[in-house]
Amino acid sequence: MVLQLKRDKLFNECKRILPDSYKGALGHAMSILLWIKNKEGYAVAANQLGIASRLFVCHKISKKVGMPTDIYFNPEYKPVNNDTFISEEGCFSYPGETFHIERFKNILATYHDPRYKENKRIELSGLPAVIFQHETDHLDGIDEEALNLK
């Protein structure tokens, strides 16, 4: 499978990955890992590459900044409190552009692990929280241009 960025797919909310579709989703995740391998950036959501599964994949450098794994199935988040800040973000779907987006400082992130054996819960802050919010927003059909404070 040849993966290419598909900006038009960003506005579609992705479907949850169910246990019976796990193996197909894992195949997509592996393809995305190969795609992102030599790219600059932290992560990419499946719908950025035209895949309608609710998953995102992190680049290997993401572990250095505190992301707990490479593959996130069915990610969701809730703010821990109402504290926010303005995050300066780039996006694979908008090369060379920078967005200023209000983000929660601390979130409670939930996701299924890559083996789909358990639902994980973790509190994230700083850059890992931004990455998780950014990619989950894509999967919810929310685009950075819409969130940009300009």
pLDDT of residue 115: 77
Token pair for 121: 């819960």
pLDDT of residue 2: 44
pLDDT of residue 143: 80
pLDDT of residue 70: 85
Between vectors from CA 7 to CA 75 and to CA 35, what angle results, nearest 5°?
65
Looking at residue 53, what DSSP letter applies? B
Q: Sketch the domain layout of the chain as residue ranges.
A: 16-147
Name the strand (E) or helix (H) holding 58. strand 55-58
Class of domain 16-147: alpha beta
How many angstroms separate the CA atoms of 64 and 55, rounded? 21
Between vectors from CA 3 to CA 117 and to CA 60, what angle results, nearest 5°?
55
- Predicted confidence pLDDT, tens digits, the chain (150 residues): 445 566 666 677 889 999 888 889 999 999 998 888 888 888 999 988 888 899 999 876 677 777 777 899 999 999 999 999 999 999 888 888 899 999 999 999 999 987 777 889 999 999 999 999 999 999 999 888 778 887
pLDDT of residue 7: 64
pTM across the whole model: 0.90
List residues with catalytic annotation.
135
